Each structure stands twice: as C-alpha cells, then as structure tokens.
Structure 1
Amino acid sequence: MRLTRARITNFKSVLDSEWFTFDDLTCLVGKNESGKTALLEALEKLNSVRPERADLSETSYPRMNWSEYEESEDVDVALTTEWELDDDEYAEVMAMAGSAEAVTSRKVVVAKNYDNKLTWTVPVDLAEAVSHAVENSGLSEQEKQELSEAGDTAELLATLKNVGEPSPQQEALLKELTERWPKGGVQSTVRGYLEDRLPKFVYYDQYDRLPGRVSLDQLLAAKANGTLEQLTGSQVFLALLSMVGSTPEAINQIATSEELISKLEGVQTRLSKKIFKYWSQNRHLKVRFRFDQASPGDPAPFNSGKVFQTRIENTRHEATIRLDERSTGFIWFFSFLVWFSEVQKQHGDNLVVLLDEPGLTLHARAQEDLLRYIREELLPRYQVVYTTHSPFMVDAANLLSCRTVEDATGPNEEVLGTKVGDQVLSTDGDTLFPLQAALGYDLTQTLFVGEHCLLVEGPSDLLYIQWACDQLRQQGRTPLDSRWTVTPCGGITKVPSFLALFGGSKLHVAVLTDHGAGDKKKVRDLRESDLLRDGHVFSADMFAEGGPGEADVEDIIGRDGYLQLVKATYGLTVKQTLPKKAPADAPGRVTVEVEDHFRTLPGAVDEYGHFGPSRYLIEHPDVLGTHAADALDRFESLFKALNALL
C-alpha cells in the first residue's frame, strides 16, 4: 500500500489542511510555527510503530474550538488518508471479491477519529460481489432467486446458514464463501487483510540524540520505574545495544568479555562505513565504543556503576572525544543512523518515514549529504515525508515533490489554521523563500556546466564570442574550445565574489574583461591576486584593433566593423552615422564614442545599449561584410591564447 493523499482536520493548529498528495519523497516547506510538525504528528497517529505515540488525545484538539466540541456528542475525525494498492494486493482483493467487476478501484481510504477508531472504505461493490457469487454458484434458479435479495455479502452468508435443509449445492457454496470470507463478509475480510498490510509510520525529530555516555545504573532504574521516555536519548541507546545484540541488563552483567569487545568493534566498523559514506565534512573520523567502570571523580550519575561511552576518533589528530562533544549536526546524523537501523530490524520495510526538520543543525553541504542518503538508502524501500525551512534540504530538481505549509487567515483575519499547498504555490514570501533560494542556487550552479569557465562581463560579450566561434568554425579555423563555458558575471568587480562562491567546485576559471580608465587598477589587482592562476586574466586591449590602452570586447571587432553594426542595428541614416575617420579627440573605446554620438541624435532614434548590436550580429552574422576578416583574426588570437590554458 502506498500513501497517495491525506487530509488532517481538528488537530492542534490544523483546522482543515484540505487534501494534499504524496510522492515517494515529499517535502513540507514552511516557516516556523506554520504547523509542519503538527502534520507529521497527525500522520503518525494513524499507525505508529511506537504504541505510546499512536493514540489521539483530546488535548490535541484545537483549543479555539474545544468548548464547542466538548459540549457536542460528535466524535470528530482527525485524519483521513488515501492509499493505493500494489499489484499483489489488488489481485488478492479481486480474489476475495470473486471478480474484477466487484473491485471498483485501487484506492483505499483509512480515517481515524478521537475515539481512536479506524474507519476503512474499501473499493468493493457489495452488490456486484453478491451477484457474482450467486450467478456462478451452480444453484438452481429458484435457489438463486432466494439468495439474490441479499443486500451484501454478510447477509448472503447469513441467508445460506439459515437454510433449513440445504441442498448439496447450497452446502458447497456456503463452504466456499466461508473460506473466501472468513471474517463474515467480503468487506470485513478485505479490511482484515489490508490491516496487516497497512504501513506503519516512524517519526524522528532532532531531539532523539544518542548521549556521549550512559550510566547503566540510571538507565536500568528508569526502565524499572517506567520513566525511560523521560531519559534523554534512551531509545537511541537501546537501539545501539540492539545492534550489538545485547540489552542493558545483559551488558551490565558482563565484567570482561572478548565476545562483547568483538561485537562492539564490528558495530563501530559498520557504523563508520555507513556514516562516512555520506558525511563529507570530515573523512578522518572513526566510531569508537568504550564500556568501563565509572570513575568516582566524574559527575553523577557517571561516578558509580558502569558507563558506556560513544567516542569519535579523529585519525588526523590521533585523539578521541565523546560523541556529545562533537557538532550537533554530526550527533544528529549519527543518532539517526543508529535509530533507523533498529527500526528496520524491528519493523521491516513496510514503513512510511516521517522526519521532522532533519539536519536542522547541519552545514549546507552536510544537508546535501543527508538528502543524498535519503535518496540512495531510504527511497528504494520507503516513502519519506519530511519538513524543512532550509533551501539546502529542498531538491531543486524535484520541486514538484514539495508542499507549502502556511498558518492561513481569511480575508477578514479569520483563522483558517494550517493549510497545505499541493502545487508549490503560496502568496507568502517567507513560505516560498526556501523554494526560491533552492531554485536560485541550482540555477546559479548550472551556469557552470563544465570544468573550465570563462568569465566575461556581460551577455553582449557572450554573443560576440558565440558569433566569432561560429564564423571561425565554418571557415575551418580555431574557435574557442568547446570545453570552455562562457559565463557573464556582471563586471570585473563581481569576479572575486563569483570565485569565492564557486571556488569550492574546483573550477578552472579564466577572465576576459574590459579595460577602461576605471578598470586598469582592478585588472592589475586581479592579476596579482591569488584568486586565479597566473596568465588567466585577459583584458580586451590585448587583442583590440588599437593595441594596448583602453578597450572593450567591441574593440576586438574594430571601429569600422562596429560602426557598421551599429548603423544596421538602429537603422541610422547617412547623416546620423559616425564619421569614417575617428576625430582626434575621440575616446579610445568605440563604445564610448558611440554613446557620445547618440546623445546628439534626435529623440526618434532608439537609445543605444551594448546588448542590441550583439543580438543583431547573432541574427545577421554577415552584417560586418569585409570588416569581418580582421575581426575574426583578432578573435582567433584570443581563442588560441585561451585554449592554450586547457
């Protein structure tokens, strides 16, 4: 059975979540206090692996409506879930119903109310099941007629049992149907079958963490007093002992044992391999367990009896520290793996995993590791539902698996309670922020689609390079190597920010920048910095028509060619074009000369911009005419210099 939809009602902050759907991996995104935890807690109540957490309590009913509910005689429903049968389950239900026509769909609805009663709606047409059983019974027409008035399968069985002197055919039919419907009818029999198939919910939050050390005396006392739930981390520690194949009672009786040591070493090796397959923050760590007599000088309760310690060894520094002295993110990750190992051992694979704010204390990279663990280790066997408000816990490649969660109000500030948006839509910016951030980060990362990145200042530079590459390639000459990914970064001042942001990706970066009056010091500083390898900063003047000096990428095209391009782009008349020969006082950069000239033109002429001519050149690649040859020679020199860096 696979969870497909749910509707939470009258539970804590959730008045009516409305129906929302589930994928194999479902992410509930919302800001703090939006009701994400309440949604998971309600789902867990349907069929929790922990009996003490399974029952609905009236204290969970929304306080704002409690007095009215207390006065009524109704028993409200807290959650309604819809499940889809797999192929084997569907075939089994058809066999119970007796025919495919009697099974109306693969959907099963299971609801739970505040009396903690489950209500099942199974997809069986009772009238069709009765009709099929009667028509294929081998009974006489008169006997069929007597049974055809049965309203459902339970009534059909009762009618057969009450026949005074049954014929052999009636006895055979009663035996067949009793075997097919051992619970007194098809509906109750199907329900009994599906009750055993209903997945259990496992809920984990950030508070279930393994302690660095545990006093066996304290743990045994809490267990005897029935207060184990109040002892922080006790469930995770019991899960750890289970991995060793032991219990607190058994381990407390051991004075010294090679068998125990070997088991502990086996588990610590297994855990180390599992953890550090996904924990990329530090590869120099190993898990170590110790079980010793308490030292009298330690604080209570660790100063008497026996103490179990979980320690983490840093092989680089050759030292160990207790687990609880490491980062909270690492403790969470370690504890989750231990806890979930025991859940699998006890409850098998028929589970829905609920994770409340997983990895909340993890670094962004470690959150990505956790998502990878969920995808690779959990999803092949389980459905997973988790809550977050971190953009790094949102899979940008699978945004449609996200559901927005809001504490909503109506037009007149009417309290609507927690709502779940099933289509990743919200009018609240705070709710959408993690989704926007995740998508923005992903889009920014995908700017770098190769190992070798050439940063240019703007999109017009990108188009000029594209034009030159296309033309050179057609002529069998040297274009920019396809391994280079050309990326606009918004100017030379943005280059350090880009390198700082993406330097961890170990990209090979070169820069092509303009060389204006205000840029010379910036270019020099960039060349002298440690941000880029030597010889990886190219300025336009190195390949421009006029040689060293001030130059933009447009000057690599050359003055005559660029003026012809500008004339064609803006449809300038002969009188509106710039003079063929540059005036003596003309700026060194052709773009500045064009900007100054456009200020003298009538208002009917479109405003000049750097991008317009570059786009026109891409759309009309032959517009430069005879000026293209010199331009391509200069671009080819640039490309050869860049390709030599590969």
Structure 2
Amino acid sequence: MKLVRARIQNFRSIDDSDEFALDEHITCFVGKNESGKTTLLTALHRLNPIFDDTRFDRQKDYPRRHLSDYEERHEGKDATVITTWWTIDPAEKQAITDAFGVGSLVSDEVMVQKDYGNRTRWTVGFDEAAIVQHLIDTSGFHDDEKAQIGAAGTVAELKAKAGSVHEASPGRTHCLHRIDRGFPEDSVSQGIVKLLDLPKFMLFSQYQRMQGQVSLEQIRQRESSNTLESADQVFIALCDMASTTVEQVASIQDFESLVSRFEGASNKISAEMFRYWSQNKFLKVIFRLDHALPGDPPPFNSGRIFRTRILNKLHDVTVPFDDRSTGFVWFFSFLALFSQVKKRSKGKIILLLDEPGLSLHGKAQADLLRYFRERLAPGHQVVYTTHSPFMVPSDDLPSARTVEDVVIYHQDEAPEVRGTKVGGDVLSTDPDTLFPLQNALAYEITQTLSAGEHTLLVTRPSDLLYLRAMSEVLRSHKRTPLDPRWTICPAGGVEKVSAFMSLFGGNRLRVAVLSDLASAHDRIEDMRRWKILRDGHIFTLGAYAGQREADVEDMLGAGLYGEIVGACYGLKGKQAIAALPAGSRIVDHTAERFRTQAETVPGTAPEFDRYVPAVHFTEHQSDIIKKLFGADLKVTLTRFEQLFSDLNALLP
C-alpha cells in the first residue's frame, strides 16, 4: 500500500491538522522551530512503528489544555489520533481479486485509524454480495445445492446456509473451509485486511547517532534489561551489517576475526556514503576493539571498548568518530541503521526523517536530497521535516507542505489557539514559515534566469540582443548559428566574472566569456591561474572585428550598424552616421556624433542609447539586412559565424 493522505487529531500541539496529502515519493514538511513538525512525524510513526510498540498515551499526549474535558469531548470513547488513507498496490489488488472475485473491491483506497486505546481500525470498500456469490460459484456446489442455499447477502448468512447442505457434499466442505480460513470472525473486512501489507514507519532523528566509543559490557546490560538507548540501536545495526552481534563482538579473542567482520561493513557504508558525501572524499572509517584503560572516563575505563575512528587520508591522521562534523555522524548513523532495517524487514518501510542534514553545509544538503531521490524514493516513501532553504525541493515545490502553529489574535480578547496545521498548497500567511520556501525558490529562479549549464558571459544586455539576432540571420542564410544550448548572460565585464562563478558554482557550469576589452589581460590571467575559467574559454571581440579593442557593434561593421541606427532614429542624408576613422570603436564614434549634433543644433538630435538600436535590430533584422551590399554583409556574417563556431566547439 502507498500512503496518500493523513490527518492528525488530539495529539500534543495538534487539535486537528486537517487532512493533508503526501507525495508518492518524497514529502517535505517546512516550518519554523516549535511549529509542530516533529509532532506530526511522531504521530505518523506510532501508527505502525518498526522497532518497538510505541503507544499513544492519553495522559502524556492528549493536548493539555483540553485534558480535563476529555470524557466530555469524546463521550467516553477513545479519541482518534491518526487517520490515514492508502491506495492498494496492483499486486495486493490482484491477490484480493484471486481470493474474493472480480468486483470484490468498490474502491482502491483504504482508511486506517488509531486511537488512544491503541486500537487500529480499518475501513475497506467492498461488495459483500459479490464476494458471497463468488464463493458460491467457485466452491463446487451442485446446482441443486445452489438452489438450496438460495440468495445470501453476507458471509455469515452463507456460512449458515452452507452448513445446512448435506455433510457429504464436497462443495459444503470447501466453502466452509474457505470461510473459516479467509474470513476471521466471518468478516469480509478482516479477510481483505489479511491480504494487505501496512508499511512500517521508521523514525530517524538527530538523537539516533552512533557513539564513537561503546562499552560492550554496558550495552549488553541494557540489551538484556530492554533499556536500549537510541544510539545503541545504531551500533546494533552496525554489528548486524557485519553479520555479528554485540555478544559475539564482546567474545572475539583474535584481532583478525574483528577486522574481517567490520572491514566489510566499513567498506559497504563508505562506498554508499562517499557516493553522496561531496564535502571530503578522502575519509575512511576504521573500527577498533580495545581493552579499557584505567585513566579513561567511566564507563570506558573497564571491560572491552569498541571504538570507531575516521582516517583522513589527506592529512594521514585518525580522529575519534565523535569529533567529526555532526552532519557526517548523522549520515553515517542513518546509513547503518537503514541498512539493518532493509535487511530485516520483509514489508515496505516509510521513512520519517526529522530535520535531516540540519548541520550540513548547503552543498551537502543538496547531496542529501539527491540521495533521497536516487537511493530512497525508488523503494520507499520519504517524509522529512526542515526549516533550511537548501533542503526544500525547489524543483518540486508541490511536494512541500507548510507546517505552522496557528494562533488567531483578537483585539482585547484572549488569543485563539488552533494548534498545528498542515498546508497542502505551499501557501501560508506566516513570513517565518514561508522563509525557507521563498529562499529556495529565489535561489532556483536566480540560477535558472542567470545561468544555464552552458553560459556565455557578455558585458551588457545589448550584446545579448545582437548575438541572438545575428544567430538567426546566419540560420536564415543556412550558415552556422550559435548553439541554442548556450545561455547568454550579461555579467557587466570581465571584472565581474569571478563573483559570478563564485555565486553560481563554476564547478558545474561550462562558462565562456566574450570580452570587449583586450586590455583586461591581467584579470584574464588571474582567472586562468585560479582555475576560475578553463583555458580557451575567454574570447575578445577585437580578435573577430579585426582591431585591438572592439564591441559587438564593431563586429556588425559600419555599414550594418549605420543602417540600424539610421532606421532606429530616422536619420537620413546629412544626419546619417559618417564613415569611421580606421581602428576606432563604432559606438564611441556614434555617441560623439549624437553629442555634437545636439550641441550644434539643440533639439535636433535625440539622446543616444546603445540599447535602443539593439532592440530595433531584433525587431526589424530582416528588413535592415536586405539593405546591405553583398560584400559588407559577407564580412559581417563571416565574423559572427567564426565566433559562433569557436564557441560551439567548446560544447560536448
């Protein structure tokens, strides 16, 4: 079965969460501290916990402000705590059809509830009359026996009528056997529930972290007295991965036995972990079994002590496991515990992760999300809580749910406490609740708008317009355009490239720079030296325009640019752009022409803005291109085609 919706009531800070949907793969609960996120996971976990029979306790868990009114509020009955809705898997549906016949189910959805009496109640939609008829038709009754049985609307009724058939009838024997075996207490609902697999819930939080030092005598005592702590479960899981037990580890008498068992477990966890741990891949987990030293603090000063240490291969030094970052310890502990759960559990598991990766760096949190998607979600539903923007799935915001403790304030009246609510539409009026969502979305939008996987950095927005327009012109002439995989991004000049690369993660982008200043040689060399850009990814426009320093407008040539400016500003005759001095930059010459005209005859020339002609060209490029002479057009097209070919050659 797959969990599709849930509703929590009468539990701690939750009066009524309202019904909320859960994603079939990963659901993210987003909310600020003390909003009730952990409470939601705790309630879900207690529906069917994997490790122990954690129970709802009315005295501890029922909302305190209503506890004295419990009997009155629930009319002497046990209050419902959790209601869940599940869809039946195709394999389960087929098993039900095989057992009870086609049409036995009237709905693929099942409701499962649990109350303060810790009773689990199932609600299944079925057609009992159709199931009864299927039993009659497939039990081997003769026609006269079917006539004797007649119509039966319930299994209990069929059982009574089948019992009246002659004892020697094979049909009677078969039918009664099927009812006794497949319908506990003659209940169709219980018969169907027997064929359904309610997944177990595994709750993992910051408190379930393995300790770097374990006193084997202490953990054996807690194991025998059934007082194991959260950290103990992780160590027991690690032993299970090594195909051993705490008892066996404590009795190991030779070093090689220890090494052979735990190196295998270490290699397995390390291979899985460092596939997704990008912060430092030069670490190795090392296990040791030592006799306690009297100078160590209790309880590590007696008996045998199991120690986990981390080898940093870059610095050639080992450090205690507890001294590693909290994020590293959390990830390792989760992998160890989850590996044991998968190994021991026969049914499905729903993972409930409370603030996973809370202490991880933002990049490591992205790695953790990738781990969820690639390794967990294909086989398990994952529900996790967070208040970190980096743990919000910005590429799948519909899977996020807002969680907030709702309090309505009225003027001159006591606040109205509505308790924890879950928002299924990723909307909230509380700015603190929205903060992680807003930041995650803003970061994603910024990345998407400003940078693509293949980014060409240019100086100004007008460069972008001319490059795109000339690419289309080349395409119309059946020549080489700019590859559409390039995202053109105005960066403001070579001096801004370093900041851009730092902000947008140059290690995952293929970036090229198109510079208008050959004099930026020192900055370019700095970027190459510090590996900010790859060799061969920096281009100067002058190299294609045939002059030392150039703008995109110089690539167009005086003829084409003169036509663009003239058409844009309506310049004709003496007002047209004059021929350029050799080696000069066309934009400087044009701006000077406009300035001089304005000073000579005030009011006769508009103010020059180099962006305006670029926009005009993009809108009328076909008409303008037609006015060029063949030789001028050929030179311009050749310049841009050579530039685009060189840029395209950088792409895979």
**Which interval holds the TM-score relative to the shorter structure?**
0.7 to 0.9
Equivalent runs, 1:64-463 vs 2, <5 Å: 64-72=65-73, 73-96=76-99, 98-130=100-132, 133=135, 138=143, 143-145=148-150, 148=152, 150=153, 152-158=154-160, 160-161=162-163, 163=164, 168=169, 171-172=172-173, 173-194=175-196, 197-229=197-229, 233-256=231-254, 258-409=256-407, 414-445=416-447, 448-450=451-453, 453-463=455-465
TM-superposed deviation, 1:169? 8.5
| Shift in CA distance, 142/606, structure 1 to aligned 2, threshold 3 Å | farther
2:290 counterpart letter in structure 1: D
Q: Which residue of 2 aligns with 1:18?
A: 18
Q: Which residue of 2 aligns with 1:46?
A: 47
Q: Which moved more, 1:112-121 or 1:439-448?
A: 439-448
| Shift in CA distance, 49/456, structure 1 to aligned 2, threshold 3 Å | same
Deviation readout 1:213-266 (Å, 9 max, x if unpaired):
11123323434554323xx61111121222233333333333435433321222
Equivalent runs, 1:550-565 vs 2, <5 Å: 552-558=551-557, 561-565=560-564
Alpha carbons 2:566, 2:576 under 8 Å: kept: no
SS at match of 2:513: strand
| Separation in structure 2 between the aligned mates of residue 402 and residue 168 of structure 1, nearest angstrom | 60
| Separation in structure 2 between the aligned mates of residue 90 and residue 256 of structure 1, nearest angstrom | 53
TM-superposed deviation, 1:587? 9.8
2:40 counterpart letter in structure 1: L
| Separation in structure 2 between the aligned mates of residue 582 and residue 56 of structure 1, nearest angstrom | 90
| Shift in CA distance, 587/245, structure 1 to aligned 2, threshold 3 Å | closer
| Separation in structure 2 between the aligned mates of residue 158 and residue 590 of structure 1, nearest angstrom | 105
Alpha carbons 2:13, 2:63 under 8 Å: kept: yes
| Separation in structure 2 between the aligned mates of residue 52 and residue 169 of structure 1, nearest angstrom | 44
| Separation in structure 1 between the aligned mates of residue 113 and residue 386 of structure 2, nearest angstrom | 26
Alpha carbons 2:456, 2:487 under 8 Å: kept: yes
TM-superposed deviation, 1:47? 0.2
TM-superposed deviation, 1:311? 1.1
Is 1:33 aligned with 2:34?
yes
Deviation readout 1:161-180 (Å, 9 max, x if unpaired):
5x598895884544454344
TM-superposed deviation, 1:367? 2.1
TM-superposed deviation, 1:355? 1.1
Q: Which residue of 1 aligns with 2:588?
A: 589
Deviation readout 1:139-159 (Å, 9 max, x if unpaired):
5687445x54x5x32344346
Q: What are structure 1's unaligned runs of at least 5 residues?
A: none
Report the TM-score when normalising by structure 2: 0.83
Alpha carbons 2:205, 2:354 under 8 Å: kept: yes
| Separation in structure 2 between the aligned mates of residue 225 and residue 101 of structure 1, nearest angstrom | 51
| Separation in structure 2 between the aligned mates of residue 180 and residue 594 of structure 1, nearest angstrom | 95
TM-superposed deviation, 1:79? 1.1
* Residue number among 471, 475, 490 corresponding to 1:469 in the alignment: 471
SS at match of 1:101: coil
| Shift in CA distance, 592/43, structure 1 to aligned 2, threshold 3 Å | farther
Equivalent runs, 1:616-631 vs 2, <5 Å: 616-622=616-622, 623-624=624-625, 625-626=627-628, 628-629=633-634, 631=636
TM-superposed deviation, 1:450? 4.7
Alpha carbons 1:203, 1:355 under 8 Å: kept: yes
| Shift in CA distance, 175/338, structure 1 to aligned 2, threshold 3 Å | closer
| Separation in structure 2 between the aligned mates of residue 181 and residue 645 of structure 1, nearest angstrom | 69
| Separation in structure 2 between the aligned mates of residue 123 and residue 483 of structure 1, nearest angstrom | 52
| Separation in structure 1 between the aligned mates of residue 320 and residue 111 of structure 2, nearest angstrom | 48
| Shift in CA distance, 63/555, structure 1 to aligned 2, threshold 3 Å | farther
Alpha carbons 2:166, 2:172 under 8 Å: kept: no
| Shift in CA distance, 5/525, structure 1 to aligned 2, threshold 3 Å | same
Deviation readout 1:16-58 (Å, 9 max, x if unpaired):
2222222122222223222221111111111001224243544
1:59 counterpart letter in structure 2: K
| Separation in structure 2 between the aligned mates of residue 49 and residue 435 of structure 1, nearest angstrom | 32
| Separation in structure 1 between the aligned mates of residue 597 and residue 524 of structure 2, nearest angstrom | 34
TM-superposed deviation, 1:494? 3.2
Alpha carbons 2:452, 2:486 under 8 Å: kept: no
| Separation in structure 2 between the aligned mates of residue 562 and residue 638 of structure 1, nearest angstrom | 18
| Shift in CA distance, 252/537, structure 1 to aligned 2, threshold 3 Å | closer
TM-superposed deviation, 1:85? 1.2
TM-superposed deviation, 1:343? 1.3
1:526 counterpart letter in structure 2: R
| Shift in CA distance, 621/74, structure 1 to aligned 2, threshold 3 Å | same
1:37 counterpart letter in structure 2: T
Alpha carbons 1:457, 1:491 under 8 Å: kept: yes
Alpha carbons 1:448, 1:487 under 8 Å: kept: yes
TM-superposed deviation, 1:582? 8.1
| Shift in CA distance, 555/34, structure 1 to aligned 2, threshold 3 Å | farther
Report the TM-score when normalising by structure 1: 0.84
TM-superposed deviation, 1:202? 0.6
Deviation readout 1:173-222 (Å, 9 max, x if unpaired):
4445434424423222222333xx11110110111111111112332343
| Shift in CA distance, 54/593, structure 1 to aligned 2, threshold 3 Å | farther
1:186 counterpart letter in structure 2: V
| Shift in CA distance, 539/192, structure 1 to aligned 2, threshold 3 Å | closer
1:392 counterpart letter in structure 2: F
| Separation in structure 2 between the aligned mates of residue 279 and residue 86 of structure 1, nearest angstrom | 34
Q: What are structure 2's unaligned runs of at least 5 residues?
A: none
| Separation in structure 2 between the aligned mates of residue 16 and residue 244 of structure 1, nearest angstrom | 44
Q: Which residue of 1 aligns with 2:4?
A: 4
Q: Which moved more, 1:76-85 or 1:559-568?
A: 559-568
Alpha carbons 2:405, 2:418 under 8 Å: kept: yes
| Separation in structure 2 between the aligned mates of residue 540 and residue 360 of structure 1, nearest angstrom | 47
Alpha carbons 1:157, 1:185 under 8 Å: kept: no
Deviation readout 1:397-421 (Å, 9 max, x if unpaired):
4333222323334585643332223
| Shift in CA distance, 65/529, structure 1 to aligned 2, threshold 3 Å | same
* Residue number among 500, 503, 510 corresponding to 2:502 in the alignment: 500
| Shift in CA distance, 259/529, structure 1 to aligned 2, threshold 3 Å | closer
TM-superposed deviation, 1:558? 4.3
TM-superposed deviation, 1:334? 0.9
Q: Which residue of 2 aligns with 1:527?
A: 524
TM-superposed deviation, 1:542? 6.1
Alpha carbons 1:312, 1:320 under 8 Å: kept: yes
| Separation in structure 2 between the aligned mates of residue 323 and residue 440 of structure 1, nearest angstrom | 37
Alpha carbons 2:562, 2:576 under 8 Å: kept: no
Alpha carbons 1:448, 1:485 under 8 Å: kept: yes
Alpha carbons 1:559, 1:590 under 8 Å: kept: no
Alpha carbons 1:35, 1:418 under 8 Å: kept: yes
SS at match of 1:228: coil
| Separation in structure 2 between the aligned mates of residue 30 and residue 21 of structure 1, nearest angstrom | 16
1:271 counterpart letter in structure 2: I
Alpha carbons 2:148, 2:165 under 8 Å: kept: no
| Shift in CA distance, 583/292, structure 1 to aligned 2, threshold 3 Å | closer
